[in-house]
Amino acid sequence: MRPLIRSIHRCAIAILMVSCKPTIPNQANINAVEQLLIQKLGSYEMYQNASGTYSLFVQKIEEEATANPATRFLVVDLASKKIMVEKSFKPGYVKWIDDSTLELLDAPGILKQNETLSDYIKKIDLSILKQ
């Protein structure tokens, strides 16, 4: 009796293993996003937010570029593969300050009288944009 139960058990395991399909990410969707990033940014660096729901892609600027080139950036919602933000700055920076908020410094080449760099810092709240 035991050999029969073992045979049935092994057959059941074999059937389960054969019927399981491995999960493969949608390669076409990943390739489409990658092609879009290369088309819009050229070479880039990626920074994910803390929870991994968004990615910030910032264009790499070559050293031999013009004096103050505009740096483009995109934020992609990783679940939907949708571009949430597409902007540029010159000179300045963009960085995560929390899980759904970016800080963007987009300063002019010459500051006006009575202005500081902090006058050109903006916050981009992705939770508002997603609604």
What is the per-residue DSSP string for 59-117?
A: EPPPTTS-SSPPEEEEEEETTTTEEEEEEEESSEEEEEEETTEEEEEE--SSPPTT--G
What pLDDT shows up at residue 31?
Answer: 74
What pLDDT shows up at residue 105?
Answer: 94
- Name which of 59, 62, 61, 60 is nearest 74 in CA terms: 59
What pLDDT shows up at residue 27?
Answer: 54
Q: How far is CA 108 from CA 10, 57, 70, 71, 123, in A?
A: 71, 22, 11, 13, 17
What pLDDT shows up at residue 46?
Answer: 94
What pLDDT shows up at residue 14?
Answer: 45
Q: Which two tokens stand for residue 99?
A: 């899980």
Q: Which segments of the chain have a pLDDT < 70?
A: 1-30, 64-67, 131
Is the pTM higher than 0.85? The answer reads no
What pLDDT shows up at residue 93?
Answer: 94
What pLDDT shows up at residue 108?
Answer: 85
What pLDDT shows up at residue 12?
Answer: 44
